[in-house]
Structure formats: C-alpha cells, structure tokens
Amino acid sequence: MRAISVEILRDSPTSGRDIEIVERKGTGHPDYICDAVMDEISVALCREYIKEFGDILHHNIDKGMLIAGRVKRDFGGGEVLKPMELIVGDRATFRVGKQEIPVCEIAERTARGWFKEKLPHVDPERDLSVRVVLSPGSEELRDIFSRKGRIRGANDTSAVVGYAPLTATEKAVYDTERFLNSPVFKEQFPETGEDVKVMGLRKGNELDLTVAMPLMSGEIEDEEGYFRVKSRVVRALRCFVSGMHFENVRISYNALDRRGHGLNGVYLSLLGTSAEDADSGQVGRGNRTNGVISLNRPMGTEAAAGKNPVSHVGKIYNILSHRIAGSIYDEIEGVREVYVWLLSQIGKPIDSPHLASVQLILRSGMEKKRVEKGVKGIIESAFSRIGEFTGELAQGRYPVC
C-alpha cells in the first residue's frame, strides 16, 4: 500500500474568497517560449533514443534562457539589429558504446522548428541564434536508467501540488489568451503579435482583465492607425468576455499607451515577441502545468518543462498531481475543491511516492469517511498505470505550459 493521507479543510473554496489574482503568459512571451521549446527538445530526444536504443536515456533539458535581441522599429516596418539568442542546457546522453547521438543537432533543429511553426513573424535562421550547452549527466543519475525494472527510481527528492477545479477566473484568463492567439483571431487581426499576457483580478463577482499584446510595426502605418486597430481589438475582446459569468468584466488593453507620444506611446513589435529587444525569458518562470499562474493557490518550485518523462518527478508528479486532482473532483460526489500533494524520495520507484496527500473542501453535510475510500482508489489507480503515463509524457501528450 502506498503512503496516502486524506485531510478535510474547513476553508472556503478559492472562488468564494473576496480577491483572486490569476496570470497567463501566451505563446510569444519569452518565458512561455523557453518552457515550450525545452519540452519540445526533450520529446524529440525521447523519440531519437527510442528509435535507436528502444528506450529513453538520461536527459534533462530544463535549463534554458532566451536572451533578448535588438531591433529598430518604426511605423510601417523596422529591422533586426541583433538576433535573439536561445541557450539550451542542461544534461543529455550523447553516446552509448560506440554509437553517438546527434544531441546538439536535434536540439537546434527542434528549437528552430518550434519558432517557425509558432511565431510566424520570426525567421528562425535570421532572427534567432541557438547555443546548445548540453553535457553528459552525473554517473549516479545516469545509472538510474541502467537499473533493472520496468519502473525507474526518482532522480530527485521533490514536492509538487496540483488542484481542481479551475475557478471561473482561472478559466477566463486562460481562455482570453487562447482566444487572442487563436488562428481565427489572427486571421481577423493580422496586425497583432503572439506575445500575449493576461492578468486577471477578481473582486467579488467583478473581473478586471489587463491584457498586453503588441501590434506589428509592419502592419501599422502611423499612430492613428495604431489606435484604430486597438479600438477594434478592444471591441472583439468585449464581445468575447460578454459570455463570462461575472457581474462585470473590465478590460485594459496595452495600458501604457499614450496618444501624442508617437513611437514612445504605443506597443509595437517587429517580430511578435518582446524577446526581440525588451524582455528575456527563462524556464520555470511561466505558466504552471495547468496553464495559469494562480496566486491564490499553493505552487511548487519545480519546472516541468524539459525534464525527462520517466524518472524526473519534477515533470511526472507535476502533471500527474493536477490530473489526479481533476479525477477526484469529477468522480467523487460532494467535493468542492481538491489539492493533491506528491512528494518523492530520490531512488525510490516513481510509482511509490514518499507521500501522496489529498486535501479536500467538501459540500456541507459530507464527511471524510464517505469520500476517503474513493480518493485513495483514484490515487492507487493513477500510480498503478504510471508506466503508461510516462510513455504518454514522452510523446508530448500533455502540455507543460
């Protein structure tokens, strides 16, 4: 039997509290880029390792940084003066016996491919420099991959937490960014870039959304044209949020703008991302694995992006904790809110957590004894199929940001 604890909280659910703050960083945000690209590299390496050796070898591509470049913008266009630089770290397996794996080539090819697919205004050959600084891992951690057994040991002692359900505020923030970066919206508003950031503040049943999204300098001829497009974007946003279940939704879009200040008073981008010259990015500073940064919720410090999917609990447990929480909320009657804490111990099989702790907020009249058995059953089931789950992680089936 696994170490599982169930605790009943007497708190109000997050949605019932007076104040709630939620953030989401979108596709073109430098932090999102780092998380997404590093994880894509991990998936590509998993694919190569399985193809060549029939198994996933040791790697953790979870140390990455996107260093801002330098551009010159003007109404109607601009030019790249210095490309962005993407640094790819940390550890990978480069050789098995006499056979070498082209790790650096795979990493660079994957990174440039992601930019080409997700950021259409970026020329990944001209506007991006890629520096791969991966090295072989420590012998002790590599040895985890050579030990017998279907389930590998945890390569770290880590704690993570997941929760369910998403509140209306969390859904609103997430959905707003997805709307602004959707193909339909970009077709309607080709003047907009991909670097979207949404900050939501709920007070009672009223929601403030502060949205940042640049307009493309090549599509905007002058200051007046900028504010015309901005007005159209705000109208589209108001239409989108009108269906949300709040008493009132206020929108602030590109709040730093000032008429009459020319280029200094508008948010323009040449490439669609602030990494072109204004902001660098780093793995682990973006969205949690459920897609939002929710300041009212407990959060761990582990970044899931880029970690190997078969022994690094920083990835496995991070995603699994949210999935378990979702299953408990969906399947157990009377649960209003659930938190799932997972703690690993280095070397211990990943299907045997050092502790799985569940905290529940129940509906009035529900007692612990009515839900405890079902909760433990869901956890046992999740860990009994963890081999299948890690295989799905290796295929990139679950987003990390």
Mean pLDDT of 216-239: 98
Task: Dump pLDDT digits (tens) for 110-131.
Answer: 999 999 999 999 999 999 999 9
Q: Are residues 310 and 371 in the same domain?
A: yes
Look up the CATH number of the domain holding residue 119. 3.30.300.10
| 84 domain residue, yes or no | yes
| 128 domain residue, yes or no | yes
| E strands in 280-381 | 281-282, 293-294, 335-343, 355-362
Which range marks the domain in which residue 361 is found? 4-15+156-166+298-394
- How far from each other are the two terminal CA atoms of the chain, in whole angstroms? 33
- Tokens 């992006």 correspond to 305
Q: Are residues 196 and 336 in the same domain?
A: no
The pTM score is 0.95
Q: Are residues 162 and 302 in the same domain?
A: yes
Q: 263 pLDDT band (50/70/90 cuts)?
A: very high
Mean pLDDT of 360-365: 94
Q: Are residues 265 and 172 in the same domain?
A: yes
Q: Are residues 129 and 77 in the same domain?
A: yes
Q: Which of 110, 144, 178 is the last residue of a domain?
A: 144
Please say whether the beta carbons of 252 and 210 come within 8 A.
yes
How far apart CA 124 and CA 255 sit, in angstroms, is 30
Q: What is the CA radius of gyration of the chain?
A: 23
Task: Dump pLDDT digits (tens) for 148-181.
Answer: 567 899 999 999 999 999 999 999 999 999 999 9
Q: What percent of the chain has pLDDT over 90?
A: 94
Q: Are residues 79 and 92 in the same domain?
A: yes
Look up the CATH number of the domain holding residue 208. 3.30.300.340
Number of independent structural domains in the chain: 3
Q: Are residues 259 and 344 in the same domain?
A: no
Look up the CATH number of the domain holding residue 322. 3.30.300.280
Mean of the per-residue pLDDT values of the chain: 95
Q: Are residues 56 and 132 in the same domain?
A: yes
Q: Are residues 41 and 140 in the same domain?
A: yes
Task: Dump pLDDT digits (tens) for 58-86.
Answer: 999 999 999 999 999 999 999 999 999 99
**Whole-number pLDDT of residue 214:** 98
Q: 140 pLDDT band (50/70/90 cuts)?
A: very low
| 288 domain residue, yes or no | no
**Whole-number pLDDT of residue 301:** 87
Q: Which of 247, 282, 317 is the last residue of a domain?
A: 282
Non-local (6+) Cβ contacts of 267 within 8 A are: 212, 213, 214, 215, 254, 256, 257
Please say whether the beta carbons of 358 and 338 come within 8 A.
yes
